[in-house]
Structure 1
Amino acid sequence: MFRPLSAYIGLRYVRSRQNKGFASFISASSTIGIGLGVMVLILVLSAMNGFERELAKRLLSVVPHGEFIAVTKPIDNWQQQVETLEQFDTVTHAAPVVKLGGLLQKGERLKALELRAVVPDYEIRVSRIEDFITEGSFSALTGNSMVVGKGIAKKLKVGAGDTVQLLLPRNSSGNGQFAAPIKRNMNIVAVFDFGGSIDETLAYIPLELGQSIAEIGDKVHGLRIATDDVFAAPKIVREIGMKLDSYVYMNDWTRTQGHVFNDIQLVRTVMFVVMLLVIAVASFNIVSSLFMAVNDKKSDIAILKTMGAKPSTLMFSFVFQGLTNGVLGALIGALLGAYLANNLTDIVLFVEQSFGVKFLSGDIYFIDFIPTELDMRDVVFTVISALVLSLLATIYPAWRASKIDPAKVLGQGG
């Protein structure tokens, strides 16, 4: 079977190195180091992909992708405005909203909250709030009723079917005196459990009730939209806002929840750089092992040169020898990384149950588990990066091997 001379020599040197204790240890450590670096990098990238997926799937399924809030006066004829927004190709659905702030009271317990007055049939088109309802029904949001987050319900110790008192600021009369707050007895018809800070602050009431409290007639404070590409929402909101007739503030999800996405990207970048440095450090072991191999094989190199072997042949022989470590490490790391990445959620859950710890708290973060999503492009890119670093580590020792002078080596041997 035909094999290039450089590959044949390199393979012979790899086999002979296995019988040498220290050289074999240095070679194995470089392979293990590269494999661990590749494996961890794939795990980190898969976890970050999982967080991005959950961000789009969970957080951005409740938080509006974009909002247009009136600046000077409420938006009139909101039904027609919704139809106008939905005519844009990048907008999937639109819905009205009235924004209010107030206090919720149950006995001696008080909780500040943000109120969103909405039409249930419209709201479920721009958000997936129904998917997170744990008690009651979101469609029952009519009359003096409200839907609250689990954090609010836990704070006030209430649930679906309970009655609470809603305290709202009254419009100032302009005489400098403090006006007594508006009080409304509200029936909780549903509780949603999304996770994170939203559960602690957000509540929904019917649009008609919100309009009555805000004294704006049949008008609304703003319009919410869902886009076909959540990560393009800032551009879409800006383009649409410039075409609207009303004078509005243009908000998108990156203003309120963008820090979560930015944190994910920052961790991805930092961990990618750190793991590449780990792979690079492991690759330097290839330099050490090749220098040892070159010193050990000086006489063989001299003999091959006197027999007519070209410097390029000798150089590629040692490149092949060193690259073997990189290939083995990258392949082993990729296989282990892909397997662990596909099962990362279950593995972390097992560790949490075994040691009684919790890595992510649902009360703080928008999820309470470690998500994962393996992207083969990340695997390919990581493997290629490891191979490139391994190749670069072999060049200088291999070049030094090709520059050995046969006369000096053989003369010393004589």
Structure 2
Amino acid sequence: MFKPLSVFLGWRYVRSRHGNGFSAFISASSTIGIALGVTVLIVVLSAMNGFERELSQKLLSIVPHVELVSVNEPIKDWRESIKKVQTDSAVMAAAPVIKMTGMLQHGLKLKAVEVRGVDANLEMKVSSIDDYIIAGKWQGLMVTASNENTIVIGSGVAKKLSVKLGDKIQLLLPPPQGAEDIKKIFSAPITRHVEVVGIFKFGGTIDETLVYIPLSLASDVMGYKANETQSIRLKVTDVFAAPKIARQVAHNFDHYVYINNWTGTQGHVFNDIQLVRMVMFIVLVLVIAVASFNIVSTLIMAVNEKQGDIAILKTMGASSKTIMLTFIVQGLVNGVVGSLLGAMCGVYLALNLTGIISAIEQFMGITFLSGDVYFINYLPSVLHASDVYATVITALIMSLLATIYPAWRATKIEPAQVLGQL
């Protein structure tokens, strides 16, 4: 079977290298180092992809993608406004919302909360809060003739106030302040007695601060008419394009509004993920580079051992290109084997990372990610083929670069000088 001379000689030198213990050790260490670097890099990139997925699918299922908040006057006829913004193809759904800061009181216990007045039906189109209800029903917020003073609270709020489903608690809200009404700054808070109709558990600080009340109750406190709202919340098709979509929708909106999007409140989470991704990529690429440069040591020793062979090949007419390619092939074997081995191990670990970390947590009795602090309590992992390709190609390029200098040194051996010493 035909095979280029340089490939044949390079592969033969690789096989003969196993007889030299020290050269074999240096060669094996470079291969293992490259494999470890590739494995860890693929696993880390997959974990960062997993956090991005959880950010977009879980955290941003509760946090508003985009909010158009009225500047001075409330938004008139919010139903018509919602129909108008939904004509944009990038907007999946829209819902009215009134946001306030208030206090909840139960007995002698007080808790500061962020209050959202929402339409129970429309809110389910822009938020998945209904999926996290652990007691009661989200539909309990729907206003009935008998009762409109209802509330859905987070599990952290319920724990702080020691309340359960069906309990009555007191909601304290600041009075609406007009620009000309300075006296209201010192007026007593508006008080409403509300019934707990639902408790949700999402994870993180949201459970400790967020509560929902009916839109009609919030409108009554703010002094709005039945068809007015403070802001409109949008659910968009691409959360990572939310700032652009927000500007696009607001440009066609016939009301003066502040443009808010999730990057203003939760953007630090996304930035942290990207920063960790970049830092870990640089660090692990340097690890691969260090392992690749072990190839330099291996090839320099190989060139010194094979000086006689190189001299004989040159006297037989072998070109410098053939000599150089021979040692490049010999060095690339380490890079190719290490990259492929690392890619296989990395893909396997990335696909099973969540289960492996869970098993370690159970065995050691510890928790790496606490649901009370973070918005997830497990280590997510999403494997992208592009990450595997980029990592393997990076390792191969570094391996190739590491072979060039020793291979070039091999071409500078003078046959007459070497053969004269034999």
Give me the TM-score of the superposition, normalised by structure 1: 0.98
Paired position in structure 1 for 2:191: 183
Pick from 347, 359, 373: which aligns with 1:338? 347
CA displacement 1:301-338 (0-9 Å, x = unmatched) = 00111111111111101000000000000000000000
Paired position in structure 2 for 1:316: 325
Paired position in structure 2 for 1:33: 33
Provide the rounded CA distance (Å) in 2 between the counterparts of 1:52 and 1:5: 49
Pick from 215, 220, 229: which aligns with 2:223? 215
Provide the rounded CA distance (Å) in 1 between the counterparts of 2:165 and 2:324: 76
- Could you tell me which runs of 5 or more consecutive residues in structure 1 were left unpaired when the two chains were aligned: none
Q: How does 1:237-276 map to 2 (within 5 A)?
A: 237-276=246-285
CA displacement 1:130-149 (0-9 Å, x = unmatched) = 11111111111031111111
CA displacement 1:50-93 (0-9 Å, x = unmatched) = 00000011011111110000001111101100100111111011
Paired position in structure 2 for 1:364: 373
Paired position in structure 2 for 1:406: 415
Paired position in structure 1 for 2:159: 154
Q: Does 1:4 align with 2:4?
A: yes
User: Which secondary structure state, in structure 2, belongs to the residue aligned with residue 280 of structure 1?
Assistant: helix
Paired position in structure 2 for 1:125: 125
CA displacement 1:184-240 (0-9 Å, x = unmatched) = 111111111111111111110000000001111221100000011111110000111
Q: Does 1:373 align with 2:382?
A: yes
Letter in structure 2 aligned against 1:78: W
Provide the rounded CA distance (Å) in 2 between the counterparts of 1:17 and 1:167: 80
Paired position in structure 2 for 1:60: 60
- Could you tell me which runs of 5 or more consecutive residues in structure 2 were left unpaired when the two chains were aligned: none
By how many angstroms is 1:160 displaced? Answer: 2.1
Moved more, 354-363 or 175-184: 175-184
By how many angstroms is 1:171 displaced? Answer: 4.1
CA displacement 1:24-65 (0-9 Å, x = unmatched) = 000000000000000000000000000000001101111111
User: Which secondary structure state, in structure 2, belongs to the residue aligned with residue 80 of structure 1?
Assistant: helix
By how many angstroms is 1:150 displaced? Answer: 1.4
User: Which secondary structure state, in structure 2, belongs to the residue aligned with residue 96 of structure 1?
Assistant: strand
Q: Does 1:199 align with 2:204?
A: no
Letter in structure 2 aligned against 1:134: I
Letter in structure 2 aligned against 1:182: I
Letter in structure 2 aligned against 1:388: I
RMSD (Å) for aligned C-alpha atoms: 1.1
Provide the rounded CA distance (Å) in 1 between the counterparts of 2:109 and 2:117: 23
Q: How does 1:95-110 map to 2 (within 5 A)?
A: 95-110=95-110
Letter in structure 2 aligned against 1:298: Q
Provide the rounded CA distance (Å) in 2 between the counterparts of 1:152 and 1:250: 29
Moved more, 19-28 or 163-172: 163-172
Paired position in structure 1 for 2:403: 394
Paired position in structure 2 for 1:169: 174
Letter in structure 1 aligned against 2:188: A
User: Which secondary structure state, in structure 2, belongs to the residue aligned with residue 315 of structure 1?
Assistant: helix
Q: Does 1:145 align with 2:150?
A: yes
Pick from 376, 391, 407: which aligns with 1:382? 391
Paired position in structure 2 for 1:45: 45
User: Which secondary structure state, in structure 2, belongs to the residue aligned with residue 18 of structure 1?
Assistant: helix
Give me the TM-score of the superposition, normalised by structure 2: 0.96
Q: How does 1:268-307 map to 2 (within 5 A)?
A: 268-307=277-316
Q: What fraction of aligned residue pairs are identical, expressed as a percent?
A: 57
